[in-house]
Amino acid sequence: MPEWQDEGIILSVRGHGETGGVVSLLTRAHGRAMGYIYGATSSRMRGVLEPGNLVSVLWQAKSSDQLGNFTPELEKSAAADVMDDPLKLTAMQSACVLADKTLPERENHPGVFEGTKALMASFATDIWAATYIYWEIGLLRELGFGLDLSKCAATGAVDNLIYVSPKSGCAVSAAAGEIYKERLLALPAFLRGAGEFGDADILEGLKLTGHFLRHRVFALSNSDLPESRLRLEEKFRG
């Protein structure tokens, strides 16, 4: 009987049967993994299976190609840092849904796991919103759509980078982008290492990563960004 033990972050829970549920986990060594949990809807287990929670998990199945069963134990609850803050809660939900919908099952992405774990920890800090933008940039890179924000795509200059090409995902300097600026995406200062940032900068960051998630990832399945991701951008917009 194949089995493994790992650390994972709860991404989603879908009810199955009267009391069971199919759980999607982002694991350290086994990628995004699915498993069935008996009693997933019980009051005790609901607290364990909240999206964003870090768990240790045992997966067992009769054969390696089956769904298998999870036996989880809670390591850290993400709820304490987000439940009283609707903005943080929406960001956490957005990250979980994005990872759940974009990462192939059973394909290892240790960088995404570590980045997601760091994102969940950041909700206890003042830099969580910037961390979220960096997390989406990392997810895009893992999916094969990395952004190059290090130098101007047109001139190779490394100074005064204020735009990003919506086609190439490469930075563009103020001088090179002047005549095309209406068609370019803004590059927020904090992504250039300029330090301070506010809600307007976070919104520009969400627009930037959202463009590439929408056109490079979700367009492949003729779908839009998940509802929680749309709500996150709208909250910073309003």
Q: What's the pLDDT score for residue 196? A: 81
- 174 class by beta-carbon count within 10 Å (0-12 exposed, 13-18 middle, 19+ buried): middle
Say which amino acid occupies 60: Q
185-186, strands of its sheet edge to edge: 171-173, 161-164, 185-186
Q: Which of 97, 98, 94, 44 is nearest to 72 (CA)?
A: 44
Q: Which of 102, 115, 96 is nearest to 14 (CA)?
A: 96
- Report the helix count and the strand count for the chain, using DSSP H and E: 7, 8
Say which amino acid occupies 161: L
d(CA 141, CA 198): 25
pLDDT tens column, 114-161: 999 999 999 999 999 999 999 999 999 999 999 999 999 999 999 999
Domains and CATH numbers, the chain: 3-77 (2.40.50.140), 86-149+187-237 (no CATH)
Q: Is the pLDDT of residue 203 over 80?
A: yes
User: Which tokens hold the place of 72?
Assistant: 């989880």
User: Which tokens hold the place of 28?
Assistant: 């350290």
Least confident interval from 54-68, 157-171, 216-230: 54-68
pLDDT tens column, 55-92: 999 999 988 888 899 999 999 999 888 989 999 999 99
Q: What's the pLDDT score for residue 35? A: 95
d(CA 53, CA 117): 9
